[in-house]
Amino acid sequence: MRYEIEVKEELSRIVRVKADNLADAIGKVEEMYKSCAIVLDEDDFKGVSIEPYDNLKLTKIR
């Protein structure tokens, strides 16, 4: 029998930026991420979950 098992890793980093407001700060960090100025790696690892894959979740969203 075959089983589909989903492996999820969580990477996270706090980035400090100067900005006039929260929206600008988020925009700056999004741009930094898109331009690869921020690249998350093994030092940013926060956790892993391994569980049966439930493709019904995807069906419900659509």
- For 16-27, what is each residue's pLDDT tens digit? 999 999 999 999
Residue 58: is its pLDDT beyond 90?
no
32-54 tens-digit pLDDT: 999 999 999 999 999 999 999 98
Count of all residues that appear for the chain in the document: 62
Q: What is the pLDDT of residue 54?
A: 85
CB 8 within 8 A of CB 47: no
Higher pLDDT, 62 or 2: 2
Residue 32, class by beta-carbon neighbours within 10 Å (0-12 exposed, 13-18 middle, 19+ buried)? middle
CA quadruple 61, 14, 32, 34: dihedral positive or negative?
negative
Token pair, residue 20, equals 């006039």
Amino acid identity for residue 53 in this structure: Y
Q: What is the pLDDT of residue 10?
A: 98
Residue 7: is its pLDDT beyond 90?
yes
